[in-house]
Amino acid sequence: MTGKAKPKKHTAKEIAAKVDAATTNKGGGKAGLVDRSGLDKGGHAKLECPLCKVTAPDIKSMQIHHDAKHPKIPFDESKLNNLHAAVHVAESSSKPRPGIRGSLKK
């Protein structure tokens, strides 16, 4: 039986991917709240196509998508779904916070 006591070796690519995942803001939680709310210009998609639900960051990109994928239907800006308008920013939550071990007892 070979390889039982040998330590596993990680590749440089795998280590770099782990470091990148640990240090890059992916937009979740409190760190991504400003991005999701649309108050600041972020890299997240703002508009959604009403026909196929594909997202785009701005009007120009959405018009390019529409011309390429839906050429028979005329482009109408008013029918686009604004995803940033749908997100509500909650400053303080009314839910009680759990205790030390996840219990709601006080």
CA-to-CA separations, 82 to 38, 45, 59, 101, in angstroms, rounded: 10, 9, 10, 40
96 phi-psi bin (left φ>0, alpha ψ -120 to 50, beta other): beta
Question: Tens place of pLDDT for every residue, the chain, 106 residues?
Answer: 566 666 678 888 899 999 888 887 676 777 677 666 655 554 567 888 999 988 888 899 899 999 999 999 999 999 988 876 755 555 555 666 666 666 655 5
